[in-house]
Structure 1
Amino acid sequence: MATVVGNQGLRRPLGFVLLTAAVAVCYFAAGRLGLLRQLVVEGAVVTPVWPPTGVALACLLLFGMRSWLGVALGALLVVFSISSVQPDVIGTLVGNTAAPVCACYLLRRVGFRTDLARLRDGFALVFLGALLSMLISATVGAGCLVLSGKLAANSFWLVWSAWWVGDAMGVLIVTPVLLLVPRAHWPPRRSRWKEAAGLAVVAGVLVPFATHSADSMLFLVYPLVIWAALRFQLAGSMLCALFASVLATVAATDESGPFAGLSRVAIMIKLQAFNGAMALTALLLSAVITEQLNTRRSVEQACKELVEVLEHLTAGESPQVRSAREAQERRGQSQSG
């Protein structure tokens, strides 16, 4: 018995260490990907979409609050990869860790479900997880830049808004995709392969054209997202949204296509308006459709159970009761005729 207890005691710290390391590596990898595309706003380097916030929130929701240390270590690794640790950087680390932790806490308080099968879950992720909680990281980060003298006070709000929207976009676009991973069914049903392949082909042609056309064809992406939401719910719509967001971000940072000839601020506004509207459409529409499908399945199951109960009751009737009921039914039919 002592050996068993000792093994369990060792297994728990080992599991925590492995979880912390895995979360930190995922956060760091997402941070390096986010840093590949940057925009300069008022002398400050910002990322239009910051994927680590989405990774951090997904890890906290899936593995619990104990993964906060992995988030903090991942953020520290990202900082080490681009600069040295300074007082303002420490404040940024605190903000980047506190924001997803606060988002996870708020979502749990309102009964958030990670399957995103209800409209209320979609609204909670948008308003509590993204828009509200990411105010923490943006405020702390931009505030530390001002206090350290790296950012002029009159540029605070512009950098703050870019920081806030970038973190919020990371939650809206990345978190739903990661929440789908534990529930993914592979291989998918063969009846859906052809349509899924057709959707992938259309997306592979339409999205690059829309995000790199000089005629500003970004609106062509929305029918594609709606199609994906109607037929494949959250998995299809969010993968399409992620693909479109990546290509739009590439076009924006390259100042090509619909973003050519615009100022850096105008590029940021146009890009974030597109990413935000697309992510909201994909997330909320798929939540509504999934909720309706679940309701229909529940009604069908209830009707099936009711039929089984009636058949059971009918089979248990005595011959006299059955004859009287059939005679009553015949009289009702003759009267109606």
Structure 2
Amino acid sequence: MAGVVVTRPNRLFVEPVLKALAVALCYYVAGRLGLLGRLVVEGVVVTPIWPPTGVAVVALLVYGLRVWPGIALGSFLVIASLTTPRLTTLVTVFGSVAGPLCAALLLRRTGFRLDISRLRDGLALVLSGLTAMLIGPTVGVGMQVLTGDLETGDFWSVWLAWWVGDAMGVLLVTPLLLVAMGAVGRPRRNGWTELVCLVLAAAVLVPVAAISRLSLLYVVFPLLIWAALRFQLAGSMLCALFASVLTSFEANARQGAFEHLSAVEIMVKLQAFNGAAALTALLLSAMVAEARATRRSVENACNELAEVLEHLAAGGPPPEPFASHAVDTETDGPPGT
């Protein structure tokens, strides 16, 4: 008995620590991957897509709010890999933790489902991602202006690039991580021929759209619609992430549709495309999932009703669960007896 008493507190302490360390590792790896497509706006390093925000939101939703120290540690390690940490680094780390925390709290308050099976789930993820991610850039860029590391006139351009990068991390990475963790239903297993056709089409059209100087980025959207309608969240978000990552690299190299554009014009054009792709894939997939769930509910209700009518026509008792309900009615007795 004494062994049980001693072991249980240790387990309650060790498990959150291990989860926080795992979150910190995932955050750091996602940060290093995100920095591969980094851009420099007014001397500040920003990324069109910042995957760690998606990692942080999923960790808080799945493992609980107690893993926030892992987010703080991961954020600190990412910053330390770029520059020597200073006192202002703690402010940036605070913004990196506060944004995902607010997003997770907002999602919980709206009754967000991890399977994103309703349109309201998709809208909640979009709204929470856009609003909660205001914290990080406001705190981070504001501190750089106060310390003199950034000119006041450059505040909005850097702030906008920072905010959109954090928001895109939530909108693009969070759904894919939920799919990978099994929170979202898998796509249907049949239709491999159609899946291969979609992959081949994406492998051909997305690079052409990104590399072409004719600004053919709009040809990606039929692929997103196709993926959402037939393969729901897993297919559409993978397609959107592939298109966004490839387009971000082309923007960083100032090639294709981003040739001869200024840094601000590149960020506006790139983030407009990334945002439109993420919203199309996420919201359309949620609508399709909700419609399919509604259809399954109607079909089940129709099957149950047909079974009841069949039993009544044959003169037998109604099937379960209707039989138990009939027994309770007979026990109470009909009105007036």
Q: TM-score, normalised by structure 2?
A: 0.90
Look up the SS of the partner of 1:45 in the other structure.
Answer: strand
C-alpha distance in structure 1 between counterparts of 2:204 and 2:32, whole Å: 27
Moved more, 42-51 or 102-111: 42-51
Q: Greater CA deviation, 25-34 or 152-161?
A: 152-161
Superposition deviation, residue 281 in structure 1? 0.4
Q: Percent identity?
A: 59
Corresponding residue number in structure 2 for 1:73? 73
Which residue identity does 2:166 align to in structure 1? D
CA distance in 1, matches of 2:185, 2:138: 42
1:46 deviates by 1.3
Task: Name the residue aligned to 2:298.
Answer: 299
| Partner residue in 1 for 2:42 | 42
Q: Deviations over 1:9-56 (max 9, x none)?
A: 322222212111110000000111111122222222211111111111
- Contact in 2 for aligned 1:210/1:217 (Cα 8 Å): yes
> Superposition pairs for residues 96-115 of structure 1, below 5 Å?
96-115=96-115
Equivalent in the alignment of 1:88: 88
What corresponds to 1:272 in structure 2? Answer: 271
Matches within 5 A, 1:256-335: 256-316=255-315
- The SS at the match of 2:191 is helix
Q: Secondary structure at the match of 1:40?
A: strand
- 1:187-266 counterparts in 2 under 5 A? 190-266=189-265
In the alignment, the residues of structure 1 paired with residue 169 and residue 179 of structure 2 have an alpha-carbon distance, to the nearest angstrom, of 16
Deviation at 1:185, TM superposition (A): 9.0
Do the aligned partners of 2:76 and 2:89 also contact (CA within 8 Å) in 1? no
> Given that residues 238 and 279 in structure 1 are in contact (C-alpha distance below 8 angstroms), is that contact kept between their aligned partners in structure 2?
yes
SS at match of 2:36: coil
The RMSD of aligned alpha carbons is 1.8
Determine which structure has more spread, i.e. the larger CA radius of gyration: 1
1:88-126 deviations in Å (ceiling 9; x for gaps)? 211111001100000000110111111111111111111
Aligned to 1:63: 63
Cα distance 1:316–1:267, how it changes in 2: closer, same or farther (>3 A)? same
Q: Which amino acid aligns with 1:205?
A: V
Alpha-carbon distance between aligned partners in 2 of 1:261 and 1:216, rounded to the nearest angstrom: 13
Whole-Å separation in 2 of the counterparts to 1:301 and 1:253? 52
3-state secondary structure, aligned to 2:134 = helix
Task: Measure how far apart 1:6 and its partner are.
Answer: 3.2
Counterpart of 2:124 in structure 1 is 124
Query: Could you give the per-residue CA deviations for residues 142-186 of structure 1, whole angstroms, max 9, x where no partner exists?
Result: 101101110011111111111111111111111111111122799
Question: Following TM superposition, by how much is the alpha carbon of 1:306 offset from its aligned partner in structure 2, in angstroms?
Answer: 1.3
Check whether the contact 2:212–2:256 (CA below 8 A) recurs between aligned residues: yes
Q: In 1, Cα distance between the equivalents of 2:140 and 2:276?
A: 25
Are the equivalent residues in 1 in contact too, given 2:88–2:143 (CA < 8 A)? yes
- The amino acid of 1:195's aligned partner reads E
Deviation by residue 1:206-255 (Cα, 9 ceiling, x = unmatched): 11111111111111100000000010011110010011011001100011
For the residue of structure 1 that corresponds to 2:45, the secondary structure is strand
CA contact (8 A) 1:137 1:164 kept: yes
Q: Gapped runs of 5+ residues in structure 2?
A: 318-337
Q: Distance in 2 between matches of 1:188 and 1:96?
A: 33
User: CA, structure 1 residues 199+127, in 2 after alignment: closer, same or farther (shift >3 Å)?
Assistant: same
